[in-house]
Amino acid sequence: MIHSRLILSAALAGGVALSATAQESNPAVDARQGQFQIMALNIGVLGNMARGNTEYDAEAAQAAANNLLTMSQIDQRFHWVPGTDNESIEGTRALPAIWEEGSRVIEIWGEFGTGAEGLAAVAGDGLDAMRAALGPVGAACGSCHDDYRAAAN
């Protein structure tokens, strides 16, 4: 009985997700896109220093790295509701592979966490140390985009 009710509500949830259109924003999608924007903004602070576009500022670098570390510690479960992939709804480039068996997203998110930890440990110790520690963070982002984000239209 409980089972059939679960299946019914799952089916309803799926139906709701399928009927969602471009106009309706999805809170989970909004939340994760916002999350990535915050990440990009903070990576940008560090990336611009690494590129020599802005002067290295140990305090600002540390703050940005701390933010990235904090972001990596946010539990992701509510951002990634099943049925919010790009085949089910508009407005996202998240591929269904995220939710499929054998998905490496959790592992890669862990790599981002490790990278962010390494970055936060040295971001205030000078430009070279920060630049070197930024690499693994970017690599984790790229790993996920490689297999789990569709190309833009």
121 binds other proteins per the rule CB under 8 A: no
Residue 45 CB, nearest approach to other proteins (Å) = 9
Chain positions 34 to 93 lying near other proteins, rule: CB under 8 A, are: 40-41, 43-44, 47, 50-51, 86, 93
In angstroms, give the least distance from the CB of 49 to other proteins.
12
If the CB atoms of residues 3 and 91 are measured against other proteins, the closer one turns out to be 91
Count of alpha carbons within 13 angstroms of residue 111, beta-carbon side: 16
11-16: Cβ within 8 A, 24+ apart: 13/83, 14/83
DSSP output for 70-86: HHHTS--TTT--TT-ST
Smaller CB separation from other proteins, 37 or 70: 37
Nearer to other proteins, 81 or 150 (CB): 150
- The residues, any chain, with a CB within 8 Å of residue 82's CB and separated by 6 or more, are 99
Alpha carbons 16 and 88: distance in angstroms, whole number: 10
- We find the least distance from the C-beta atom of residue 44 to other proteins, in angstroms, to be 4
151 touching other proteins, by CB under 8 A: yes
Least distance from C-beta 123 to other proteins, angstroms? 15
Instruction: Give me the residues that bind other proteins (CB under 8 A), please.
Output: 40-41, 43-44, 47, 50-51, 86, 93, 95, 134, 138, 141-142, 144-147, 149-153
